[in-house]
Amino acid sequence: MVELKDVSFRYGSENAETQHQNSLRNVNLRIPTGEFILLTGPSGCGKTTILRLINGLIPQFYPGEIQGEILIDGQSVSNRELYDTARLVGTVFQNPRSQFYNVDTTGELAFGCENKGMQAEEIYRRIDGTVQHLHIEALMDRNIFRLSDGEKQKIACASVSVAEPDIILLDEPSANLDYEATLALRDVILRWKEQGKTILAAEHRIAYLWDLIDRAVILRDGQIVRELRGAEKDGLSIADLAAMGLRSTVQEAPAKLDLPAFQEGDEAIELYDFHFSYRGTGREIIRIDSLTLASGEITAIVGANGIGKTSFLNCLCGLEKRCKGMLRYKGKTYGRKARQRLCFMVMQDTGNQLFTESVLDEVLISLPKGTESAREKAVEILRQLDLDDLLDRHPQSLSGGQKQRLAIACAIASGREILLLDEPTSGLDYGHMMQTAELLRQVQRMGITVLVVTHDSELIRACCGRMLALTAPT
């Protein structure tokens, strides 16, 4: 049994803004053993904070001011050492790139048990059991750096399984996963549920586990605003959910949406001979002899994890030297170098593409050399994207959504005609997803062609007029 008794919490950060975000106010929650609970609500509502209080990362790793009590089986967590809590609680985190200690998968599965000082024979037995249970034979004895995000998340789940904790916490585990991979994750959770584990999941994408949960706890501004169970939970309409700032509970495969890639009357962007394989593999992951896209539209690019959607964007942008494809647009042919000046990509990790010390400077360096009255122009673009009150902020201190907006401002400033986005809505709540959709429509109205790689059916419904489904070359 996990209990939160009148818990309030503030992060011990100097920045008043982040202090208010993610804090908790008077939260009461009782989770009987074996229950599966979903914590959901808009970004910054405090759902991750609740998980951190239970696994002990708060206050041991993230310091702050706690009031109230957090109890596991009647014993307080906050004063306990992290390695003691680790025996009871296992956590799967959001970012598949930064939750592994080992470089090889087998070592990673054993890691938790090794830390407990368990005998090697017992660890072997448990690993073999988990591997069989989760059908991950093909992932064993591999280098973790060579796995796709979906595969990494499976390894993260398996390493929790091997440690056999009674309580399992999931912190937005599906944020980087495609439709198929979320179904696989759902299977894993189902098995944990059968084993009688107590499960808490913090998620925006609620569709894939909505029918598995016993209770949905909805948070807003650090408070529990509603608890749903049984018939009340099943009877909610999509409009009710949207009003609470929640995503759809209907699981929908993006590939099932019926949108053309190109239709009569569209102006064409033609691609020829796009071939690409990773160095040393020899296996082509992209093999496009010819393809037509619609100019001036918002096109969704869908396909399973690891099919090469991101590589396709890289090739299109001219970032892959070994991809010799050509692009025809408005009667002109663009080679690799020319495409670098035609396309702008908003990457998944937007922070990696912002380099300067202020928002204004970021847009200034994007304007073509020798632009007249550059400052006025830059401010005007920032004003259109509602960033003009942040001119002097450091780009790295912005929120995820603001960084995305800024990157798009840079794209507009650069005058490039094709905007590519890589999973712009992964880990976004309903409100922010709709904002991104509106932003994309705004960019489209400026005459810019938008291509967006996504697994988010709701985003596609909200703004995309065309769709391209990438499949593996046969």
Partner 1 sequence: MTYSSEAAQEKRRSFLDPRTKLALVIVLALFVLGGLGGEMMEPIKRVLSVLPFLMLLAERQWKRFFRGLLMLGVGYGLLFVMPYLHGVLNFLALMCGGILTRFVVTIVMGEYLIATTTVSEFISAMERLHMPQAITIPMSVMFRLFPTIVEEWRAIRRAMGMRGIRLGGNRAGEVLEYQMVPMMTSSVRIGEELSASALTRGLGSPVRRTNICRIGFRVQDGILLLLCAATFASWLLELCGVKLW
Total residues in contact with partner 1, by rule CB under 8 A:
74
Nearer to partner 1, 15 or 396 (CB): 396
Residues 55, 174, 182, 311: which binds partner 1 (CB under 8 A)?
Answer: 55
Q: Is 211 in the site for partner 1 (CB under 8 A)?
A: no
What is the spatial distance between Cα 30 and Cα 21, in angstroms, rounded to a whole number? 24
Nearer to partner 1, 57 or 391 (CB): 57
Q: Is 56 in the site for partner 1 (CB under 8 A)?
A: yes
CB of 298 to partner 1, least distance (A): 20
Residues 355, 375, 380, 438: which binds partner 1 (CB under 8 A)?
Answer: 355
Q: Is 103 in the site for partner 1 (CB under 8 A)?
A: yes
Residues 187, 211, 227, 349: which binds partner 1 (CB under 8 A)?
Answer: 349
Stretch that binds partner 1, among 3-11, 34-42, 49-57, 372-380 (CB under 8 A): 49-57
| Binding positions for partner 1, 359-398, rule CB under 8 A | 365-366, 369, 396
Q: Is 399 in the site for partner 1 (CB under 8 A)?
A: no
Q: Is 22 in the site for partner 1 (CB under 8 A)?
A: no
CA distances from 120 to 85, 100, 115, 348, 354 (A): 22, 20, 11, 40, 47
Max intra-chain CA distance, the chain = 72
- Residue of 347, 305, 432 whose CA lies nearest to 43: 432
Report the b/e string of 395-416 with b at 16+ CB within 10 A. Answer: beebebbbbbbbbbbbbbbbeb
Nearer to partner 1, 67 or 396 (CB): 396
Q: Is 85 in the site for partner 1 (CB under 8 A)?
A: yes
Q: How far is CA 92 from the centre of its chain?
A: 14
Burial of 201 (C-beta count, 10 Å sphere; 0-12/13-18/19+): buried
List Cβ neighbours of 333 (8 Å cut-off, separation of 6 or more).
Answer: 326, 327
| Binding positions for partner 1, 401-420, rule CB under 8 A | 410, 414
Q: Is 201 in the site for partner 1 (CB under 8 A)?
A: no
Residue written as tokens 């109890």? 71
Q: Is 83 in the site for partner 1 (CB under 8 A)?
A: yes
| Binding positions for partner 1, 425-444, rule CB under 8 A | none
Q: Is 163 in the site for partner 1 (CB under 8 A)?
A: yes
| Binding positions for partner 1, 130-149, rule CB under 8 A | 131-132, 137, 140-141, 145
| Binding positions for partner 1, 286-345, rule CB under 8 A | 314, 317, 319, 340-341, 344-345
Residues 78, 111, 257, 277: which binds partner 1 (CB under 8 A)?
Answer: 111
CB of 82 to partner 1, least distance (A): 5
Nearer to partner 1, 347 or 460 (CB): 347
Stretch that binds partner 1, among 55-63, 172-180, 230-238, 372-380 (CB under 8 A): 55-63
Stretch that binds partner 1, among 15-23, 82-90, 299-307, 372-380 (CB under 8 A): 82-90
Cα dihedral 200, 201, 207, 211, rounded to 10, equals -10
Strands of 267-277's sheet in order across: 284-295, 267-277, 326-329, 332-334
| Cβ(157)–Cβ(108) below 8 Å | no
Q: Is 119 in the site for partner 1 (CB under 8 A)?
A: yes
Nearer to partner 1, 223 or 356 (CB): 356
CB of 412 to partner 1, least distance (A): 13
Nearer to partner 1, 97 or 383 (CB): 97
Residues 68, 107, 296, 400: which binds partner 1 (CB under 8 A)?
Answer: 107
Nearer to partner 1, 99 or 292 (CB): 99
Residues 8, 99, 399, 444: which binds partner 1 (CB under 8 A)?
Answer: 99
